Amino acid sequence: MPVHTSVCAPMGDEYRFVMVDSAGDGICCGYGKGSVQVSAGSLTVIDDASFGSRVSGSFAIMKNGTVVQTEAAASVPPPPPPPPSGYMAPSNAFPPPPPAQPATPPSPPSPPCTSITIAILADDYPGETSWSVLAGDSQESIKSGSPSSYDAGEWTNWTVCVDAGTYTARIEDSANDGLCCAFGKGAYKVSAGDLVLGEGGDFEDSANVRFLVTDDLVVANVPPPPPPSPSPPSPPCSMAELAFVTDEYPGEVTWAISQPGGHIQASGSLESEGENALVTVPVCLPTQGWALLTVMDSANDGLCCSYGHGGYELRVDGHVIASGSDFSETQFHWVSADLSKVDDFAATSGPDCLLEDVGLRYRGGVHTAADGTECLAWDDADLSAHGYTRLGWPGSGLGSHNSCRNPGGEFAGPWCFTKGPLGTEQSLCSVPSCTATPTIATFLVDESSATEQRAIKASSSHSKQRVSHSAALRAGVVAGAAACIAAIAILAVHATPAWRGERKQLAGAELI
């Protein structure tokens, strides 16, 4: 008698039906006249009887209820009948087996890749939206896709497995109205596991999420490389020096120098180094194009200033082209051995007005005191003893320029060193207040003032139990090696600066 079975299959998915006969002779016709029929809606997926050992077929139910066949019904034929009893094949009926081939060695395992998820909540016009993942600076598409017309108002996820390198996830809309909000409230999200690399929805023609993948981690918001500039032929790279002064937990710090395409050119860790130690590493920087210097701290407290006064500098021919100290998890610098490309990033990267009363974040180009006297450069050799250096005051905008600054916000406004009748003096500059708060574009992605970073760290709890060192002890430890290590001597001056405490009003105070 016929047997009917019904199964409720949700819409929006694909299904496969398989029927197996253990005797390999189907259900017709050697031992009865059976048959099997599988239907989904009005579509007959399978209608068979003498299928041998197995019959199968696949179909998909769209979100609008339409059923389409994705794989035609296929069956495995029954085996041939056995030979009659007593039959013996002639000796020449079967050719001799071919000689055994040597075993092919197994292929080496592929290196592990990192899964990146692209998720799109489609707006009212999904057909306008597409996505792609582009590799390195070549912007070669390694995978792409688009929501289907029946995905309006629904999230759709795609997974892309990528090797180490820099990538851009690009979301595009052909109608130049993004995913939100004129024609529906769509959105996108790019993530690696629980780490959200970028998300949004309100854009015009495209939105880009740039990220870096290494063997150990994924880093979001990697800045694009500076635009290429023509240069004469030169050697592929030039030697530079990466110098670290460790804090109390050097094992938390790692660094890498990578090419724009993502290839890791050099990397290392301070794990084997001692506390408050000077570590120098020779590195080779490109003389044409750029490299990305990344410095990371696994405890998210940088090298300064909660647990020691560490820092780092990258030098080319004695010229500091990148430095840092007081940061959280990661700092990025685009670097090159061509010094004409990396003239001090802190020189004039901001507006010529004050964003707050004392100009702590001022990065403009005013370079004369209020009386018109020309300022001295912050890296002037005559000023090194006073400790106002980029390494000593990280994130304060000091460097190879003479623009006014207010390191630490200790004085009434931006100031500079000048030459006066009595020698070197500190002089206030005349910088007007901004009428609105503009956005400051900086070359250093994670750059923020040392005072702001200290305030953030002071307000957060830390799981590590550490021994507290007094400023005098730090100065003594650092100054003990000052005779042979200039970089540590600079930090010693920073540990016991000449002017600390209340903010000072100054107008030509003499330095001695």
Nearest residue to 55 via CA among 40, 70, 38, 42: 38
Q: What is the DSSP letter of 396?
A: S
Q: CB count, 10 Å around CB of 443?
A: 17
Tens of pLDDT, residue by residue, the chain (512 residues): 677 777 787 777 777 777 887 877 777 877 788 888 888 878 887 887 777 778 888 877 777 777 777 776 666 666 566 655 555 555 554 456 556 666 666 666 666 788 999 999 999 898 899 999 998 877 889 899 888 766 788 899 999 999 888 999 999 999 999 999 989 999 999 999 889 999 999 999 999 999 988 877 788 877 776 666 555 444 578 889 999 999 999 999 999 998 876 788 899 999 999 999 999 999 998 887 778 889 999 999 999 888 988 999 988 887 788 888 888 888 888 788 876 655 444 344 456 788 677 887 777 789 999 999 999 998 888 887 788 887 777 667 787 889 999 988 889 999 999 998 888 899 999 998 876 433 322 223 333 333 333 333 333 333 333 333 322 222 222 233 222 222 222 222 233 233 323 333 333 333 22
**How far, in Å, are 143, 222, 411, 507 from residue 260 at the CA level?**
20, 11, 41, 47
Residue type, 161: C
The pLDDT of residue 468: 30
Residue type, 5: T
Residue recorded with tokens 């799981």 = 463
Q: Are 137 and 225 in contact (CB under 8 A)?
A: yes
199 bridge partner residues: 189
Burial of 282 (0-12, 13-18, 19+ CB in 10 A): exposed
Question: What whole-number distance in Å separates Cα of residue 253 and Cα of residue 300?
Answer: 10
**262 Rama sector, left if φ>0, alpha if ψ -120 to 50, beta otherwise:** left
Question: What whole-number distance in Å separates Cα of residue 173 and Cα of residue 244?
Answer: 46
Residue recorded with tokens 């570590």 = 279
Q: Extract long-range pairs of 343-349: CB within 8 Å, 24+ residues apart.
A: 343/400, 344/399, 344/400, 344/401, 345/399, 345/442, 345/443, 345/444, 346/390, 346/397, 346/398, 346/399, 346/401, 347/399, 347/400, 347/401, 347/403, 348/401, 348/403, 349/440, 349/441, 349/442, 349/443
The pLDDT of residue 73: 65
Beta strands in 270-421 (DSSP E): 278-286, 291-297, 304-305, 308-309, 311-316, 319-324, 330-335, 415-420
Beta strands in 193-236 (DSSP E): 195-200, 206-213, 218-220
The pLDDT of residue 445: 30
111 bridge partner residues: none
The pLDDT of residue 485: 26
Nearest residue to 184 via CA among 267, 274, 124, 264: 124
Print the SS3 string covering 33-86.
Answer: ECCEEEEECCEEEEEECCCECEEEEEEEECCCCCEEEEEEEEEECCCCCCCCCC
- The encoded tokens of residue 129 equal 């939206």
Q: Are 497 and 387 in contact (CB under 8 A)?
A: yes
Nearest residue to 402 via CA among 427, 361, 374: 374
Q: CB count, 10 Å around CB of 26?
A: 25
- The encoded tokens of residue 64 equal 């609008």
Q: Are 441 and 361 in contact (CB under 8 A)?
A: no
191 bridge partner residues: 117, 196
